[in-house]
Structure formats: structure tokens, C-alpha cells
Amino acid sequence: MQPTQRLFRYLLLAVVMLFAPGSSAACCVGSTATLQPGNQAPDFTLEAVREGSYHLQDLQGNVVLLSFLNSQAQASATPDPSRSQIISLKSMLEQYGLNEMVVLIVDAARLRTGEQPTIDSLINFTYDWQLDTIPVLRDPIGATTRSYGVTDTPTTFLIGADGAIQQRWEGGVTAPQLAFAIEALVGVRASHTTSAATPVTDMACSGETPSQAKFAGVGLARSLSNEIWVVDNGYAWSSEGAFPLQWIIIDEQSIVGDGKLTLKVSAHYLDSDNRLRLVNQQLQPVPADEVRGLLVEEAGILPNVYLLPFTISLEKPGCLQVDAEIFREGDSRAIYSGQTIVGVK
């Protein structure tokens, strides 16, 4: 055999082996492009870091939020987005976890570090981040990571109750983006369908603003002003534990620009002067394509929209006056403000 023929034969054999079924290259080439919303989520069975195992097929009938993260991400001047992703995942579980949604984290640190974390480091990770209610799953040979076409962390999938992928986010995905997508699948939150959920009209609070269908893809919202809205699905607020809300800010006058916004909400019961501090958090901007879907009646130039999912705790039933203010970074004066009265059960 001539040297040229021998070289050609070796190259051909290498290509065949590279793309052979079951090879690591074959499983990954094209998988990132093909595994997209509408595809069936690949099944897996993975061991949890603490205890037990999780089989995706067993979770059908539940919405699943599945995130491939770098468990070894460290705080730095340019932090790994996996750290902020964990915070968003915990927020979503708090907001929607009682309504048949499961949140799972798959450790994919080897994509960033090139090494598989030890079991001790993974256990420490779960305790450091207080992941008592979110299972962290081990993928020791990376088979599940490859089957989902994940090449970097974080990568997050929203899987519907039928097992089909509804959304895929590569890189960090904000809590507002997650909230909009999840809300469309799970509907009214569990906290609003329990015995604590009472229509606001039953509370008989004078001056109460009724909730209305202002936005698409989320529940009924109550107006504090033309710019400040709170999504509560038309129910009385609950004093029985944590109560999740979504605050939506519409910058109709386009006066915010590129600055950061902070929402401050305080309240007091009408029979008391004791003021409660409910919210003091930075708002997240909503991407333009999601604004278009959210404000279905809007035409022409879309306003800037900001959102904050936030859980509050109230001390007792009664009629509550709620005051909200929006502050631009570096400005001590509120650019927007609003007020309403709500019934608390």
C-alpha cells in the first residue's frame, strides 16, 4: 500500500470513529442546535448529591426547571453567572414550587474547570447555598450534559408537563424571564388556590383598587398608579406565611434611560400607624421581545418595562394601605409613586 493511500485510509477511519454512534463527539455535534423548544427532553436517571435519585420520566405531569450549573463558581470581579442563576432558581421555587413545579440542578462544573468535583465539595455546595429543597444531581461522566447539548454554564431548560422543552436559556436567565415563562405553564400560584385565597371583594376594604387583566401571560394585576402594578391574581393578600407577588413597572414617559431602578414599598394597616417595610429591591428590565408579548394592547414604540418577583410576609389580617416609590440610581427623589388599599386575610 502506498504511503498516500495508507494516510487516506487512516484519516477515513478516524472520521468514521469520530462520528460513530455512541462516541462522545457524535453525541455532541449538532446537539446544541437541535435540542431546542419543541423537542422532547432526553430522559435521565441521576443520583442526588445528598440522597436519592431522580428519573425525569417519573416527573411527567410536573413542570420541570432544569439548570446545568457550575457548582464550583467563585465570587470574583467577573463572577460566574451560575451564582446569580442559583438565586433566581430559588426565587422561582419559592414562587411556583407548590404548584407542581420541580426545580433540579445538574452539576456541570467540569465544563468550566475540566475536573469532576468531589462528592464532599458538592455536599458543601448544597449547604453553602442552602439548597435544601432543590436537588443537586451528579453527572459524573457528563452523559446527561452532552445529551442536552450543553457546552457552557449556566444553561437552563423549562420542561412542560408533557416532557417537551418549552424554553432554553444559554447563559444567565433573569428571574423576570423565568417568571413569565413559568407563569404561562403553571397558571395561578398555589398560594392563591389554597384556603388562604379569598377574593378581595370579600374583605370589604373601602377604597380598594380591583385587579384587572392588564397583562398577557400573567395573572390579574392591581394598579397603584399608571406606572406601578402588582400581580396578585385578584385575591386577598395572605398573612399565613410567605405571600408571592410580581411588581411590574411601566416607564411610559421613557424617563429612566439606561439607569437602574429600585422599588421601595411600605405599608400600614388602616387601624394602626405602625409602618411596614415590605420591599427595597432593584428591578430587572424585561427584554423587548417579552414586553411586546406582555403588553398585548400596546402599539407603536414600546415603553421600558421592569419586573420584580418578590415574596412578602404580613403580620395579621385587615385592610392595608400600600405605598410604592420608584427611584433612579443616584437620585433621592422618586420618579414614580403610587398607592392602593388591599385586603389581607
All domains of the chain, ordered by start, with CATH? 35-186 (3.40.30.10), 190-344 (2.60.40.10)
Residue 268 in this model has a pLDDT that exceeds 60: yes
Give the residue-averaged pLDDT of 23-41: 58
Backbone angles phi, psi at 294, to 5 degrees: -75, -45
Question: How far is it, in rounded angstroms, from Cα 84 to Cα 174?
Answer: 9
Question: How far is it, in rounded angstroms, from Cα 131 to Cα 126?
Answer: 5
* 241 φψ region: left (φ > 0), alpha (ψ -120 to 50), beta (else): left
335 secondary structure, DSSP code: E
Decide: 153 and 70 in contact? Cβ < 8 Å.
yes
Give me the half-sphere count of Cα atoms (radius 13 Å) on the Cβ side of residue 220: 13
Which of 196, 220, 191, 229 shows the shortest CA–CA distance to 93? 191
Give me the half-sphere count of Cα atoms (radius 13 Å) on the Cβ side of residue 271: 7
Averaged pLDDT of the chain: 81
Give exposure, 149-164, as e/b (b: 16+ Cβ within 10 Å).
bbeebbbbbbbbbebe
Residue 333 in this model has a pLDDT that exceeds 90: yes
The least confident of 211-220, 221-230, 336-345 is 211-220
pTM over 0.75: no
Confidence of residue 204 (pLDDT cuts 50, 70, 90): low
Higher pLDDT, 73 or 136: 136
Question: How far is it, in rounded angstroms, from Cα 261 to Cα 6?
Answer: 67
Decide: 255 and 335 in contact? Cβ < 8 Å.
yes
Confidence of residue 88 (pLDDT cuts 50, 70, 90): confident
One DSSP character per residue, 181-232 reads HHHHHH-S-GGGTSTT--BGGGG--TTPPPPB--SSSS--EEESSSSEEEE-
Decide: 244 and 231 in contact? Cβ < 8 Å.
no
CA–CA distances in Å: residue 48 to residues 8, 64, 134, 138: 47, 16, 10, 6
Q: Side chain identity at 200, as an amino acid letter?
A: V
Higher pLDDT, 283 or 296: 283
Q: Side chain identity at 42, as an amino acid letter?
A: P
3-state secondary structure of 292: helix
Helices (H), 280-321: 288-294
Helices (H), 225-322: 288-294
Confidence of residue 185 (pLDDT cuts 50, 70, 90): confident
Which of 150, 139, 133, 51 shows the shortest CA–CA distance to 86? 133
Give exposure, 245-259, as e/b (b: 16+ Cβ within 10 Å).
bbbbbbbeeeebeee
Within 8 A by CB and 6+ apart from 119, the residues are 49, 138
